[in-house]
Structure 1
Amino acid sequence: MSNPATPATPDLWSDLWTDQDREDVRRLQGPVWVVGAAGFIGAKLFFSLSRIRNDVYAVSRQAENSWRLLHSPYGNRLNLDITRGQEVVEAVRKHQPKTVFNLSAYGAYERQNQARRIHEVNYLGTLNLIQALAETGCDAFVHAGTSSEYGLNCAAPAEDDLLQPNSDYAVSKAATSYLLGYYGRLRSFPCTHLRLYSVYGPWEERDRLIPTLVRLGLQGKYPPLVDPAVSRDFVYVDDCNRAFVKAALTSCRQTPGRSYNIATGTKTTLADVAAAARRQFSIPDEPTFGSMSGRKWDLANWYGNPARAKAELDWESRIDFTRGLEVTAAWEREAEPHVRFAAVAPKTEKLSAVVACYRDHEAIPHMHERLTAVFRKLGVDYEIIFVNDRSPTNDEAVIRGLCASDAHVVGISHSRNFGSQSAFLSGMEIATGDAVILLDGDLQDTPETIEAFYQQWKQGFEVVYGVRVKREAAVHMQFLYKAFYRVLRHLSEVEMPVDAGDFSLIDRKVVDHLLRFPERDLFMRGLRAWVGFKQTGVPYVRPERMFGRTTNNFFKNIWWAKKAIFSFSLKPLHYIQGFGLALFALSMALSFFYLIYYLVSPPQNAPGITTIILLVLGLGGMQLLSLSILGDYLGKVLEETKARPRYIRAGIFSGRGDLHGEEEISRFLAEVRQTCRERRG
């Protein structure tokens, strides 16, 4: 097995390819896409190809935020979510790629355990690419499979042997191999499926075995190890990536739809790995095996059979494990200052905008455009959740159109109109961002103010709300709104900010607390104040509605005021009690006064009928008012004891499809909660 010489002055993006390998790259039809270039193998392939030609594109859902691509000298990057069919079609039509290497994957790591997402990315994403490329025409499509497709049948299986996948990830990759077989053999689509064994080398995830082994080996230590008999077939990444180029030039054209094992054919146990590390790094101690628990897919005889790849692709591994470990260690020394803080890929901040919509069909496209511009300016990942609260206009149709064209948009439709507070809560429940932004859909909550919200959030504030310093409305309405907030602040038993509506940015941990509140009769801005945490306000001018007329009126505003006061204050009851005590004291004082008066100067007739009538009417009115206040409080208690749902979703829709049934929506919510847990780390 020959080993090419290590470059005299290696850089972070160098490789061990030969002149012939580079000539093969020049023969590829362009433009060239590397889909999944944010990952380990994809990034390394992108770097190697980009050193030779300038029409290579790194394609990823978050290509701009990948820690591997962040400081790379190669700049052709394309953001694309392959699970969004229409988005894929538009990108393929625009760029017309001729050679596509698909290394996108989800589920290869234990932390990636959302079953639905695994199959969406690995199978449906590949199908979207194939169908779009079949329409425009491509020269080669090489797909990265996995040796995990063989599952329990793992000891040097041939490509046509029985597949026994033992995980969702393996099942999705095995299904994709059959998909490629069908499109290649029966529909003449130029594709190849490569079953990759244990690929290692520069730019691998920092918490994987070989990077951990090298990093600790340079310090003279071993990492925790499982059973020494556990084996792998280790393939150096540059060898692996040569196979992609070879497949694009051979099997895609000659035998489309075929699968190939990309392996060395050598069984390397963990005991062998530890011995190689000891030689390479002069580690003085003996390794401690069994110091960490094994994974459920760890097997004692996991190695490949590369015979078909050698015969048909003219490919074989050139870098043995000892040599690969040496080169990886050299790279680690060079790269350590750059990857020191990348124990795992850094988390990109994600913001979720929840927009409550009712009769806002004209404003929704403008809201989407302005929110998108703000989020892109901030350089964050984002999602925009439009909640159609059973609008009688065509809000849902407009939202569906945005979902079809933008992967960042999710729509919710309620079964009836539950009100904006329930709409906010419904959207918050499916939001996956590190912070959630609440906005009304009429554009009176200006998206551009989010920039100021974001800056305050970055400074450590966990709730940032908008303060309306000026409202473009009639003078009497401005006065009434200001009076309401000040009365509410006076009556409330918690510190309520004045002139602050629902428009706010709320940190994920605060959102999680709000979602746990069981109450049905919601007043979100009050709950936001009640939970506490570190809060601040950002002043902004609230404009008039851009389209249509407000859905509020005088009586609805009175209802809002009652809702707010009775939700966060018992002072009306205290005032009734105080008024009653005052009347009782007054009546006792008057009784004593009149008793003395009658004893001193007895009246000759019975005057005072007017006084009696006024007292009866006044006291009767106060009694009715008191009873109505008590009734409002009792009504709130009744609503809570009924424990009806705060909202019912008729459906959730996005570019990936619609969810309607209760079971589908419940499963989706479980995946959302899992995603939030993963983001928290």
Structure 2
Amino acid sequence: MTQQAPSKPHSDRQLPLPLITIAIPVLNEADNLAALYERLCHLAETMAERCTLEFVFSDNHSNDLTWTKLSQLASKDSRVRAIRFSKNVGYQRSILANYMHARGDAVMQIDADLQDPPELLAEFFDLWRSGHRVVYGIRKVRAEGGAINLFRRLGYWTIDKLSEHPIPRDAGDFRLIDRSVLNALARMNVPSPYLRGMIASLGFEQIGVAYKRDPRRLGQSKFNLMRITQLGIAAVINHSVVPLRLASFLGAAALVISTIGGLYFVVGKAVQPDYPRGFASIYVLLLFGIGLNTFLLGIVGEYLLRTYWILRGEPLAIVEDALNFRMDEIRL
């Protein structure tokens, strides 16, 4: 009777490698795709013994050859998966919609312009395996003018100070998040998302990694001063009630100032009957009151607008076309 060799203990069995999704939102980035794909493939080789990778692109309705080039890459590499939206839904919504189509145990988001080095996945991965659910990049150096850098730093400081919870400063959307964080994001109904604030508000174990941000080599940046300002407004409105309280404070202050001014003119008229009528003062106060009311109504309107968006129930994005996806995998 032959003796059967003892089976290996369960702890000795080789566990499957974790799947990491590299999520890349794109808008008119045809010139950068070849270099990006080359670096992603090299990254997959260097990380082959630690994890497997998939590359999920979300095309925000580009009007150049971006989708054509993605189709070519997807036809020869099953790791390349892509969705194309029916219209431009905005940068933050395109990232969140991309997340909804990731299959990985963790998701690393990068931009297609290669300003954020995908090779940092190795460090992000180690921190994730050590128990951190969110690992984000901190931009210590960025190739921009002094004025725009100062504007950004001031914006980050303002958002952090006004927010109900700490939001990392000098951190963009270059991050790695765990599947548990992704599942929590999927349950949040935010029509105008500010992902840095949303992820920070969830808690979890988070850590930052400082890095040097490279300059864009090809294509044009989609973020001008106006869009940066709009993103900052969304950050404050979504994660702070300070503007509403400030509106109440300013309204009360204006009322007090008006009352004092009225008493001043009444007393002045009683003491000196021929006291000047003060048309200039009246006009100044009138214009001040109109301007203040308009400003306060604008703040209230921003909050009401977001309530309206929620009630309207517009989908996050509508997928027009997909590459290397089954129909039952399309979530939008």
TM-score range for the pair, normalised by the shorter chain length: over 0.9
- Specify the code of the residue in structure 2 equivalent to 1:637: T
- Aligned counterparts of 2:57 and 2:159: Cα–Cα separation in 1: 30
Q: Distance in 2 between matches of 1:496 and 1:556?
A: 19
Unaligned runs of 5+ in 2: none
Q: In the alignment, what sits opposite 1:376?
A: 45
Q: Residues 364-414 of structure 1: CA distance to partner in whole angstroms, max 9, x if unpaired? A: 222222123223323311111011111111111111121122221111111
Whole-Å Cα distance in 1 between the matches of residues 130 and 44 of structure 2? 18
Which residue pairs with 1:307 in the alignment? none
TM-score (norm 2): 0.93
SS of alignment partner, residue 362 of structure 1? helix
Aligned residue for 1:440, secondary structure, equals: coil
Report deviation, 1:426: 2.1
RMSD between aligned residues: 1.9
Following TM superposition, by how much is the alpha carbon of 1:640 offset from its aligned partner in structure 2, in angstroms? 1.1
Offset of residue 548 of structure 1: 1.4
CA distance in structure 1 between the partners assigned to 2:292 and 2:262 by the alignment = 21
Matches within 5 A, 1:279-298: none
**Deviation string, structure 1 residues 589-620 (Cα, Å, up to 9, x no partner):** 34444444444x22414342211111111111
**1:490 paired residue number:** 161
1:340 CA drift (Å): 3.9
Number of positions where the alignment pairs a residue of Structure 1 with one of Structure 2: 329
- Cα offsets for 1:125-183 (capped at 9, x unmatched): xxxxxxxxxxxxxxxxxxxxxxxxxxxxxxxxxxxxxxxxxxxxxxxxxxxxxxxxxxx
Q: Which segment drifts farther, 582-591 or 484-493?
A: 582-591
Residue by residue over 1:645-664, the C-alpha shift from the partner in whole angstroms, topping out at 9 and shown as x without a partner, is: 1100112212xxx65xxxx2
Give the Cα separation in 2 of the matches to 1:610 and 1:596.
18
Is the 1:521–1:640 contact (alpha carbons within 8 Å) kept by the matching residues of 2? no
Q: CA deviation at 1:484?
A: 0.8
Contact 2:32 2:219 in 1 (8 A): no
Structural mapping, 1:573-588, within 5 Å: 573-588=244-259
Paired with 2:45 and 2:105, the residues of 1 have a C-alpha distance of 16
1-side partners of 2:305 and 2:97: how far apart?
A: 24
Q: 2:178 aligns with which of 496, 500, 507?
A: 507
Match of 2:25 among 344, 356, 359: 356
- Give 1:444 shift: 1.6
Does 1:341 pair with 2:11? yes
> Paired residue for 1:405, among 46, 63, 76?
76
Q: Matched residues in 2 for 1:611 and 1:540: separation?
A: 55
Instruction: Tell me, yes or no, if the aligned pair for 1:523 and 1:567 is still in contact at 8 Å.
Output: yes
State the identity %: 26
**Partner residue in 2 for 1:395:** 66
Which residues in structure 2 correspond to 1:391-540 (within 5 Å)? Answer: 391-540=62-211
After TM superposition, list the pairs within 5 Å mapping 1:42-441 onto structure 2: 326-327=2-3, 329=4, 331-332=5-6, 336=8, 339-342=9-12, 346-378=15-47, 379=49, 380-441=51-112
Structure whose CA Rg is larger: 1
Query: Which secondary structure does the structure 2 equivalent of 1:341 belong to?
Result: helix
SS at match of 2:250: helix
1:437 is paired with a residue whose SS is strand
Structure 2 residue aligned with 1:236: none
Alignment of 1:526-675 (within 5 A): 526-599=197-270, 601-654=271-324, 664=327, 667-669=328-330
C-alpha distance after superposition, 1:539-572 (max 9, x if no partner): 1112221211112222222211212111111111
In 2 relative to 1, CA 615–592 (structure 1 residues): closer, same or farther, beyond 3 Å? closer
CA offsets 1:79-111 (integer angstroms, 9 cap, x no match):
xxxxxxxxxxxxxxxxxxxxxxxxxxxxxxxxx
1:418, CA displacement in angstroms? 1.0
Counterparts of 2:165 and 2:136 in 1: how far apart (Å)? 16
Structure 1 position 578, deviation (Å): 0.5
Unaligned ranges ≥5, structure 1? 1-322, 671-681
Matched residue of 2:92: which SS? Answer: helix
Tell me which of the two structures has the higher relative contact order, counting C-alpha pairs closer than 8 angstroms and 6 or more residues apart.
2
Distance 1:620 1:406 in 2: 61
Q: How far did 1:354 drift?
A: 0.5
SS of equivalent residue, structure 1 residue 424: helix
